[in-house]
Amino acid sequence: MHRIPTPTGESGKFKWSAALLISLLPLISACSSGVRFLSDAAIADGSKSAPEIDSFRAPPDAGVSSPKQGCLPDADTGPAEAFTAVMEAGPAPRGPIKKTDPERDGTIPEEKKADRRFYAAYSEIFGVALTGTEDRRLLRELKRWLGVPYRWGGCSGQGVDCSCLVREVYKKVYGTDMKRTVRTMLDQKDLEPVDQSELDFGDLVFFRTRGKRINHMGIYLADGAFVHASRSSGVRVSRLDAPYYRRGFARVGRHKNMLLKNASSRLHVGKLIIQ
Q: Which of the residues 162, 164, 255, 268 is marked catalytic?
A: 162
CA dist list (Å): 189 to 15, 180, 214, 228: 115, 14, 17, 23
DSSP 90-132: -SPP--PPPPP-HHHHT-S-HHHHHHHHHHHHHHHHHTS---S
The answer to whether 164 and 155 are in contact (CB under 8 A) is yes
d(CA 136, CA 156) in angstroms, rounded, equals 22
CA dist list (Å): 55 to 31, 38, 48, 83: 15, 10, 10, 6
Per the annotation, the verdict on 268 as an active-site residue is no
Q: Which of the residues 71, 164, 228, 255 is marked catalytic?
A: 228
Q: Which amino acid is at 133?
A: T
Per the annotation, the verdict on 228 as an active-site residue is yes
Residue 220: alpha-carbon gap to chain centroid: 28
d(CA 160, CA 152) in angstroms, rounded, equals 7
Q: Which of the residues 31, 71, 164, 216 is marked catalytic?
A: 216
Residue 9: alpha-carbon gap to chain centroid: 80
DSSP 134-195: S-HHHHHHHHHHTTPPB-TT-EETTEE-HHHHHHHHHHHHH-----SSHHHHHT-TTEEEE-
Positions marked catalytic: 162, 216, 228
